[in-house]
Chains A and B, each alone.
Chain A
Amino acid sequence: MPKQLDFIASRVTEGKMTRREFMGRAAALGVSAAMASTMFADAARAAGPVRGGTIKIGCSGGESSNTLDPALVASEVPLNVLRHWGDTLVQVSPTGEIVPRLAESIESTPDAKTWRFKIRKGVEFHNGKTMTADDVLKTIQRHSDEKATSGALGIVKGIESMKVDGDVFSVTLSTPNADLPYLLGDYHLVIQPNGGVDDPAAGIGTGAYTVAINEPGVRHGFTKWANDWDSDRGYADSSEILVINDATARTAALQSGQVHMINRVDPKIAKLLGRAPNLDVRNVSGRGHYVFIMRIETAPFDNNDLRMALKLSINRQEMVDKILRGYGGVGNDIPINASYPLFDDSLAQREYDPALAAEYYKKSGHDGSPIILRTADGAFPGAVDAAALFQQSAQAAGIPLEIKREPNDGYWSEVWNKQPFCASYWGGRPVQDQMYSTAYLSTADWNDTQFKRPDFDALLLQAKAELDLGKRKALYSEMAGILHNEGGLICPMFNDFIDAVSNKVGGYDSDPNGELMNSFAGVKCWLT
């Protein structure tokens, strides 16, 4: 049997077998899908990357109001664009480790308070200047400036001071944080010449490609940067991102060969699309989750019995089956799943239990008036349908939910974080600390459930400084328990990232950090 496997693997390396054929044969030989997927990637990589050509990506999440300024990047297309022309100090690998990029090495003091980054030498910006530790300092300064408008402001808040010493950039924190490198791997923090102070939207960085065409909301074109410091990327001569926001148009563009890969395949059609020739649907479970948010300080959600009743009256498995069509996993009313390091799977899964829900509902003494759940098509894909399912399952427990569909327009500014009960979406963060600090710390700006618990905050702070992983895991699971039982979060499901990739593409490898290989597909893939 191994012999046969070797044979089909060699066919892959020679480029004579597609992924789908390989997966089919491997399955026939009794190899698990995950195993076969890894084997295929290895075999394909053995063939080595091919240089040349133009990679075309059909991508949703772009608007004509987009800009190249990294500080203001907030959706998929600008993020993919950013990955083409810029680099960060460090990067999170698909397996969750920190990979040094523009920093060559990282070290910290034992108390995790001071961090030193040795900056890579001989890296050239697209404008011909050499990158220095000073550029790094200026970049982080720009994003952490209180007057700044950066989306990363919250991330770099904890920095007390920064300094440059030769080619070393060092950071001192106000409170210890063992996860600081993960914070500096945030995509906003692309290193720009002189920190981008002069022209933040110039699109000048150290990335594999230079910006050639910038038509926001339409397309973005890139050409290979000749003096790229990293030879393990940027195989194609040029790359192009077409903004295709309509899901059906995106799949049609892939099927008719106008683009080589697309993001965000609708789970409802993923299996059907997968039957089409010459392409593969690739999904990977990530940290993004679809949620219903109850604001704890607003009646009637200040009553934990009512919150518990609602948590028990949602059918998580049905949501995964019908909204995600199986492309995802059930949530457990905490924002963390097994994709996170130090996840504790001993927390019991909450199940749909209408009888128990009815009991809690009765105990809560709610007056029986309908509970208004706000939703919008843009809250997350299928949010309106999910709300309808929730309404049905709650009805079985005797809990009256009333759905109110809000316009997509203004949903994030007028409904989310304002209305007492609404549908929402979280993209997840690389580590637990960051997820909790962003949305569940009493003082967090985005504490959308108004979860304010001093004991929880204390545990979070303690975990931040704890370098012993075992102890840290115990702290995290204690926190998860509090949130699970008393929080305002109803988390029915974690969604997979689903891309579809043409068979002409080599080097595609799923990354749980985000869709399209954490948006690196354009710089890491090649055309065969």
Chain B
Amino acid sequence: MKNIPISAMIGLSFTGLYFFVAIFAPWIAPYGMAEVVGDVWEPSSAKYLLGTDSIGRDLLSRMIYGGRTTIFIATMATILSFTTGATLGFIAAVSGGWVDQLLSRFVDLIMSIPSLIFALVVLSVMPVTVNVLILVMGLLDSTRVFRLARAVAVDIAVMDYVEAARLRGEKLLWIIFREILPNALSPLVAEMGLRFIFMVLFVSTLSFLGLGVQPPQADWGGIVKENKDGIVYGIPAALAPAFAIATLSISVNLVADWVLNRTTSLKGGRG
């Protein structure tokens, strides 16, 4: 633990703090999530630490509950998109040939359908639940991960050591997890940190379409949206959730950077 640099410590502690608050939201939040307690856009005070929102709910409580939804959905969707996208991408790269063509062109096809149409169609045929939401976000996003994973893996798959493994007669999955994955980790980890942030923002976009979380529940991007009109008149209610997203994203990426460092030094070299 001594080797953890300060930046990673900061990242870890903030990420940890957010996850902690998210998990124990009902015990931490001073008011109910939907409870109307005061006037509209009250400034921060001892009673309402961050002030109140566009219809007079306590902003801090809303953000604590909102963090819960946001972090849960974004984490699950990121995990889903990375396991699906990276596994398929590696398989495509290592197998090559028609498997590669089929998977790659299928991904091209899915990416080329405007996501608005995609989301609306899903919305009209499926019930809107958190699970559907995670599934849609994760699978749509896995196309992007697929392309990156495949691109990185193709470069690695032609290396001598992979060639050697193939000649040894190793199985496909062995090659993927023992040879490709460790060497492709850096770009993927960097991507994962950002994808997580895109997911956080994506939830609120979908909420706007009617596919996201249902009111009175909230997500951070959604709270920014609810309060955006005051922003140019100096009402800071939209800034608090934006600040939360920004600090979460920086700390998650600080952790990612640290992991990235560890993985690059793991590869031996001169580290």
Contact = CB atoms under 8 A, between A and B. Distances in A.
Interface of A: 247-248, 251-252, 266, 268-269, 272-273, 318, 321-323, 325, 375-377, 384-385, 387-389, 391-392, 403-410
B62 to A, nearest CB: 11
B28 interface: no
A375 B216 CA distance: 12
Q: Is the interface of A mostly helix, strand, loop or mixed?
A: helix
Interface in B108-150: 120, 123-124
B34 A388 contact: yes
B233 interface: yes
Given A375-B215, A387-B215, 5 more contacts: A268-B41, A384-B215, A385-B55, A388-B55, A404-B214
A248 B229 contact: yes
A438 to B, nearest CB: 28
Nearest to A395: B34
A97 to B, nearest CB: 37
Interface stretch (B190-198, B203-211, B262-270): B203-211
A322 B40 contact: yes
B232 A403 contact: no
B30 interface: no
A252 B235 CA distance: 16
Nearest to A276: B233
Interface residues of B, number: 28
A248 B36 contact: no
B35 interface: yes
Nearest to B231: A248
B54 A392 contact: no
Contact of A266 (B36, B40, B229): B229
Contacts of B214: 403-405
Contacts of A322: 36, 40, 55-56
A318 B36 CA distance: 10
8 contacts: A248-B229, A322-B40, A388-B215, A389-B55, A403-B216, A405-B210, A407-B120, A407-B123
Interface string B226-261: 101111110100000000000000000000000000
Nearest to B232: A248
Nearest to B41: A268
Contacts of B54: 268, 385
Interface of B: 34-36, 40-41, 54-56, 120, 123-124, 207-212, 214-216, 226, 228-233, 235
Contacts of B34: 388, 391-392
A48 to B, nearest CB: 36
Contacts of B124: 410
Contacts of A388: 34, 55, 215-216
A323 B35 CA distance: 16
Contact of B230 (A269, A387, A389): A269
Contact of A409 (B209, B232, B235): B209
A403 B214 CA distance: 7
A197 B229 CA distance: 45
A107 B34 CA distance: 58
A280 B43 CA distance: 26
B227 to A, nearest CB: 9
Contacts of A252: 232
Given A248-B229, A268-B230, A391 B216 contact: yes
Given A384-B215, A388-B55, A408 B230 contact: no
A410 B116 CA distance: 13
B233 A408 contact: no
Contact of A389 (B36, B208, B211, B231): B36
A64 to B, nearest CB: 15
A405 to B, nearest CB: 5
A147 B115 CA distance: 38
The CB with the most chain A CB atoms within 10 A, among B41, B210, B212, B214, is that of B210
B207 A405 contact: yes
B184 to A, nearest CB: 38
Nearest to A255: B232
A269 B231 CA distance: 10
Pairs of residues from A and B, 6 with the lowest C-beta to C-beta distance, nearest first? A407-B210, A272-B233, A388-B216, A385-B55, A322-B55, A403-B215
A323 B36 CA distance: 13
A248 B228 contact: yes
Contacts of A389: 36, 55
B229 A269 contact: yes
Given A268-B54, A268-B230, A409 B215 contact: no
Contacts of A266: 229
A162 B208 CA distance: 49
Given A272-B233, A407-B120, A407-B123, A376 B210 contact: yes
B55 A409 contact: no
A65 B227 CA distance: 30
B229 A406 contact: no
A266 B228 CA distance: 12
A424 to B, nearest CB: 16
Given A268-B40, A325-B40, A387-B215, A406 B210 contact: yes
The CB with the most chain B CB atoms within 10 A, among A321, A384, A407, is that of A407
A404 B207 CA distance: 11
A119 B233 CA distance: 52
Contacts of B41: 268
A389 B57 CA distance: 10
Contacts of A323: 55
Contact of B215 (A268, A272, A405, A410): A405
A118 to B, nearest CB: 50
Contacts of A406: 210
A387 B215 CA distance: 9
A125 B209 CA distance: 44
A408 B210 contact: yes
Given A388-B55, A406-B210, A407-B211, A273 B233 contact: yes
A85 to B, nearest CB: 33
A352 B160 CA distance: 78
A249 to B, nearest CB: 10
Nearest to A393: B36
A325 B56 CA distance: 12
A375 B214 CA distance: 10
Contacts of A385: 54-55, 226
Contacts of B230: 268-269, 272
Contacts of A387: 215
A407 B55 contact: no
A224 B73 CA distance: 57
A380 to B, nearest CB: 14
A180 B208 CA distance: 42
Contacts of B215: 375, 384, 387-388, 403, 405
Contacts of B233: 269, 272-273
Contacts of B229: 247-248, 266, 268-269
B105 to A, nearest CB: 30
A277 to B, nearest CB: 14
Contacts of B123: 407
